[in-house]
Amino acid sequence: MTHQRRALDTLEIAAGNGLLHRRAFLTSGAALAAAMTGYTLSDTASAQQLTDAPWSTKAGIPIPEYATPSSYEKHVVRTLTNPKGEPRTQHARTPHHLVNGTFTPNGLHFVISHSGAPDIDPAQHRLVVHGLVKQPLEFTLDTLARYPMQSRMTFVECGGNSAPLFSNEPVQANVQTIHGLASCAEWTGVMLSTLLEEAGIDPKAKWLIAEGADSLALSRSVPLSKALDDAMIALYQNGERLMPGNGYPMRLLLPGWEGNMNVKWLRRIKLVDQPGMSYYEARTYAPVLPNGKAYQFYFLQEVKSFLTHPSPGLKMSGPGFYEVSGVAYSASGRIAKVMVTADGGRTWAQAALQEPVLPKAFTRFRLPWKWDGGPAVLQSRAWDEAGNVQPTRAEVIARRGQTKTPVTNPTAFPSQHYNGPTSWAVARNGEVTHVYA
Amino acid sequence: MCMRNALIAIALAVLANPVFAQGLGKHISESDVAAWDISILPDGTGLPAGNGTPQQGATVFASKCAVCHGENGKGATAAALVGGEPLTSGIETAKTVANFWPYATTLFDFTRRAMPWPRPRTLTNDEVYALTAFILAQNKIIGAEDVMNAQSLPKVRMPNRDGFIPRFPERIP
């Protein structure tokens, strides 16, 4: 123990209030792990002498055909805004503070549905490509399964994710409530360009309208250039068929672009010469600006990061060593750098990025932190490979405005497309709260 | 001869499509898609035959819409369809037909594809024109006697038509 303490005492300080150099993960791994304090959801039991537990003295339960997490993980679930399916939108948010790594398990992937998830029989589902094409085509799921497939990791994020940050006072909510409308998965399917080339694109075509088989026949217009770049008809999500809420049996995947444009339950693609100005693009996902104008076609989910550990609800269990971590992502490619502060932005340290760093995908970042037990304000900022910098909250608010009165409903959407930082304050008692810094 | 032509055709197809499994889409015609093709463009492309007046729309609204959207569209469990604060009131201003929607065609399109919420795509085209006319007239965007149809609807000038800035103009085709 004294040996480890000595090793840790020599760790290089990288920024104020105890942030250590990311190199510590490489040079001091074991010593660091032994000294790590860890976050708790509740008070932990004190150590006692080791004995065999009941589960170690008899055979376990039978293994099921389809596994679900341990019964001790029942709290690791999405939060729902409309569990009874009343005639309004439903949101299911990812518990970022209770998972780790970069990919979101399918059962925890966020969902927004404006009229529930249709119960689609895959044998009867059809995808049609028509409009400004030489030959309209119809595809079944079986037909699509015979095409060459590709897999790619990519995040999907609702344009309204992080909306509480537009409140003029910090909304007291956890990372799941504030940032839970973004998730990341490996998607497998057929490139849309393959199907469009087969149909033959009329040179007059500039956009496509994608439409779902849901009761609202949700539709969005997509520039043809994006469709031919990296758009996919996704059939698999993390290796299994899409979840019903994520578009079973097929969805449009537009890596990095506004979640609502990634049309789920996809049944129709029509090539057109102008955007359709559908309800969701002409009205819903067009944020109002302070001067009364509104942004239209806010396609990209711009570079963003947020801390998941610590975050509200994950209590710091006393002074000591902690791993600060979070996720960063950008529609413009790979994450290049993430900086972390523990003193409210006065000094910054560069975080370690978990490899592989993939374009338009969650990138996990980590940094060791020696918390001295005093007040601290943690925040992260990300840079992407295209040179985009995650703006400060002040920069976002200067352009986009904020509410005149504090937002009281943390799941409401005062505006959309907030990509500034989030600040967590750690109090002496280890409680973590949301602040502006 | 027939056999030989068929073999040549297959060989040409294989050469033209080096990827092993292309060309599997079933050829269909636009008429096959007609029942699904409910896309309406802002220039009026796709608008069906039919027509309706605000007065006709008031009747349909009272029986099929008011239960959620309130009497005469003043709002209830679902959003108000009449009125709206100026957008300069703040970024969280509720977006309405009167203060926000740039195109009247969107009103027809969304009503036809998604409403009434529990029974979408059960309204006739005449009913959708009438409801569109009713909501536009309630907002004083058209006159109380104006008939909405495929010719007149795209010509309606919405108050906030020029209120938008493309966020990524370089990506607009």
Average pLDDT over residues B19-33: 83
Nearest CA in chain A to B29: A136
A434 lies within 8 A of chain B by CB: no
Structure-token pair, residue B3:
């056999």
B173 within a domain of the structure (yes/no): no
pLDDT over 70 percentage in chain A = 96
CB contact (8 A) between residue A294 and residue B68:
no
Nearest CA in chain B to A85: B118
Domain count, chain B: 1
Predicted local distance difference test score (pLDDT) of residue B3? 53
Confidence class of residue B78 from pLDDT cuts 50, 70 and 90?
very high
B13 within a domain of the structure (yes/no): no
**pLDDT, tens only, B28-53:** 999 999 999 999 999 999 999 999 99
**pLDDT, tens only, A100-133:** 999 999 999 999 999 999 999 999 999 999 999 9
Phi, psi torsion values for B42, nearest 5 degrees: -60, -25
B61 within a domain of the structure (yes/no): yes
Structure-token pair, residue A285:
């996902």
Confidence class of residue A11 from pLDDT cuts 50, 70 and 90?
confident
CB contact (8 A) between residue B92 and residue A414:
yes
Q: Which of B47, B77, B88, B92 to mutate to test the interface with A (most CBs of A within 10 A)?
A: B92
Predicted local distance difference test score (pLDDT) of residue B101? 98
B19 within a domain of the structure (yes/no): no
Nearest CA in chain B to A299: B168
Predicted local distance difference test score (pLDDT) of residue B15? 47
Confidence class of residue B10 from pLDDT cuts 50, 70 and 90?
low
**pLDDT, tens only, A256-305:** 999 999 999 999 999 999 999 999 999 999 999 999 999 999 999 999 99
**Measuring CA to CA, which residue among A366, A369, A363 is closest to residue A339?**
A366
Q: Which of A149, A296, A302 to mutate to test the interface with B (most CBs of B within 10 A)?
A: A296
Predicted local distance difference test score (pLDDT) of residue A24? 86
**pLDDT, tens only, B97-109:** 999 999 999 999 9
A137 lies within 8 A of chain B by CB: yes
A101's torsion region: left (phi>0), alpha (psi -120 to 50) or beta?
left
Question: Domains, chain A, ranges and CATH?
Answer: 127-284 (3.90.420.10), 304-435 (2.60.40.650)
Question: Are B164 and A286 contacting, i.e. CB atoms less than 8 angstroms apart?
Answer: yes
Nearest CA in chain A to B105: A277
Q: Which of B91, B96, B153, B171 to mutate to test the interface with A (most CBs of A within 10 A)?
A: B91
Confidence class of residue A1 from pLDDT cuts 50, 70 and 90?
very low
B134 within a domain of the structure (yes/no): yes
Specify the higher pLDDT residue, A46 or A90.
A90
Confidence check: pLDDT of B14 > 60: no
B25 within a domain of the structure (yes/no): no
Instruction: Provide the CATH number for the domain around residue B40.
Output: 1.10.760.10
Q: Give the closest-approach CA distance of A215 to chain B in angstroms.
A: 6
B137 within a domain of the structure (yes/no): yes
Predicted local distance difference test score (pLDDT) of residue A38? 80
Confidence check: pLDDT of A8 > 90: no
**pLDDT, tens only, A353-394:** 999 999 999 999 999 999 999 999 999 999 999 999 999 999
**What average pLDDT does the structure give for chain A?**
95
**Measuring CA to CA, which residue among B48, B55, B110 is closest to residue B81?**
B110
Range of the domain at B52: 36-163
